[in-house]
Amino acid sequence: MDKLLFRKFFYDVLIFFLISSLCITVIIWIVQAVNYLDIVSEDGHGLKTYFTYTFLSLPKIFSRTIIFVLFISIFYTLNKYESTNEILVFWNNGIKKIIFINFILKISILFIIIQLLFNLYIVPKSQNLGRAQIKESKIDFLPKLISEKKFIDVVKNLTIFIEEYENNGKFNKIYMKELIDNNVSKIISANSGKIIKVGNKFFLRLIDGGITNIENNNTYNVKFKMTDYDLSKFSTKTVTVRKIQETDSSILINCLKKNYVFQSNIQYDEFCNETSIEQIAQEMFKRLGMPFYILVISIIATSIILKPKNIIWSRFYKTYLFVLGVIIIIVSQIIINLYGKSFSLDIYLSTLPFLTILSFYFYIYLKTKFTFNI
């Protein structure tokens, strides 16, 4: 009978968690997808790259929401059980409150494992794949971004201005500036032109114009009747360098080993150096340490079953627990920014979630042991 009761409670929490996670993740994903439209509208990437990149952000969104959604799921399910007096079935079958709390902590450990799996492997992998999509993408949306009387600078080192854009795709009065080096640039002008596609490459075919080459304040001009200007040689302005958040966990761990254990500043990767070690420490704490706050918020949510004897206090008890849980989640996010400042502070912050859970658990254990009313 006990197993059936615990199984039903677990399914209720799990179903609410899955539905809530799906809704919240989709809402956040849609908002981010709108922000990512710059990839197309300003950086010139195609729609396939856009949808692939936005889709690969889903694991990161889900991972970030686990702790909050789990807190809401446990809190809501227990509140519903209390309102319908279903919780009394547990006590009437001889299940002690401390055993019930231990069961919820076991559930929490399952979600900790899930979040560690996402934080350490799935999220960095998906984020790195998304960055690779941007890096390998051709700027195949560029022709659709060109409009008349507007400076177009969606690619690095190239600015295009079109005086007139006809419906048949022909340009009139074209001006272009290409920055080759700090002291070397090229200005191109043409009476007309049109974008053509040869294979997978785009060319701007220019008619009747000239090229002005500028090098160290010296200029020389070249006239042409027709020339094809290769647009495929330019890269996107989107950041294509891999970020720390997108780096494999093993690389970051090895970097921290060199800094903390061997006290060596030898560069392990492009990220592993004196200037980036603080960010790397914060990222690894986010991946490894933050999931354990799930135990803290779970035991706070479970405290609903411990009704206070004071009638006045009992009216605000659930609100107090909910606010406390939200504050713990917010504080846990703030703590990330404190990580990496010093080794001793890092040790304290690493043990903080465990010290907090032990304090809460010890308090609840004493309360259940010496409180006899249900």
Cα separation, 235 vs 135, whole angstroms: 9
CA distances (Å), origin 308, targets 299, 317, 350, 368? 16, 8, 32, 11
The answer to whether residues 44 and 153 belong to one domain is: no
Q: For residue range 334-346, what is the model confidence (pLDDT) as tens digits?
A: 888 888 777 788 8
Report the relative pairing of strands 201-215 and 218-230 from DSSP bridges: antiparallel
Q: What is the DSSP letter of 242?
A: P
The answer to whether residues 159 and 111 belong to one domain is: no
Which residues lie closer than 8 Å to 102 by C-beta, 6 or more apart?
none
Buried b (16+ CB within 10 A) or exposed e, 42-57: ebbbbeebbebbbebb
The answer to whether residues 7 and 82 belong to one domain is: yes
The answer to whether residues 268 and 128 belong to one domain is: yes
Final residue in a domain of this structure, among 230, 253, 277: 230
Q: What is the pLDDT of residue 25?
A: 92
Cα separation, 263 vs 306, whole angstroms: 49
The answer to whether 345 and 280 have CB atoms below 8 angstroms apart is no
Q: Per DSSP, what are the bridge partners of residue 202?
A: 197
Lowest mean pLDDT among 47-61, 123-137, 145-159, 316-330: 145-159
The answer to whether 74 and 85 have CB atoms below 8 angstroms apart is no
Final residue in a domain of this structure, among 189, 207, 230: 230
Range of the domain at 220: 142-230
Q: Kindly state whether residue 235 falls inside one of the protein's structural domains.
A: no
Task: Provide the percentage of residues in the chain whose pLDDT is more than 90.
Answer: 22
Q: For residue range 77-136, what is the model confidence (pLDDT) as tens digits?
A: 999 998 888 888 888 888 888 889 999 999 999 999 999 999 999 998 888 887 776 665
Cα separation, 335 vs 358, whole angstroms: 19
**Between 169 and 79, the higher pLDDT residue:** 79
Q: Per DSSP, what are the bridge partners of residue 214?
A: 185, 219
**Between 366 and 322, the higher pLDDT residue:** 322
Cα separation, 12 vs 78, whole angstroms: 10
Residues in the chain: 374
pLDDT band at 242 (very low <50, low <70, confident <90, very high): low
Smallest Cα–Cα separation from 38: which of 120, 154, 147? Answer: 154
Structure tokens at 77: 């399910």
The answer to whether residues 45 and 95 belong to one domain is: yes
Q: Kindly state whether residue 78 falls inside one of the protein's structural domains.
A: yes
The answer to whether residues 128 and 246 belong to one domain is: yes
- pLDDT at residue 137 above 60? no
The answer to whether residues 218 and 70 belong to one domain is: no
Cα separation, 63 vs 57, whole angstroms: 10
Q: For residue range 106-115, what is the model confidence (pLDDT) as tens digits?
A: 999 999 999 9
Domain count, the chain: 2
Which residues lie closer than 8 Å to 294 by C-beta, 6 or more apart?
66, 67, 70, 108, 111, 112, 115
Q: Kindly state whether residue 266 falls inside one of the protein's structural domains.
A: yes
- pLDDT at residue 373 above 50? no
Q: What is the pLDDT of residue 10?
A: 92
Residue with the two structure tokens 């609410």: 16
Q: Kindly state whether residue 236 falls inside one of the protein's structural domains.
A: no
pTM attached to this predicted model: 0.72
Q: Kindly state whether residue 49 falls inside one of the protein's structural domains.
A: yes
Cα separation, 279 vs 339, whole angstroms: 8
The answer to whether residues 182 and 260 belong to one domain is: no
The answer to whether residues 70 and 205 belong to one domain is: no
Q: What is the pLDDT of residue 372?
A: 43
The answer to whether residues 99 and 164 belong to one domain is: no
- pLDDT at residue 217 above 60? yes
Smallest Cα–Cα separation from 353: which of 371, 374, 372, 328? Answer: 328
Q: Kindly state whether residue 84 falls inside one of the protein's structural domains.
A: yes
Cα separation, 272 vs 17, whole angstroms: 38
Q: Kindly state whether residue 260 falls inside one of the protein's structural domains.
A: yes
Q: For residue range 308-319, what is the model confidence (pLDDT) as tens digits?
A: 766 666 678 888
Final residue in a domain of this structure, among 203, 230, 257: 230
Cα separation, 289 vs 223, whole angstroms: 64
Residue with the two structure tokens 């606010």: 323
The answer to whether residues 78 and 116 belong to one domain is: yes
The answer to whether residues 67 and 150 belong to one domain is: no
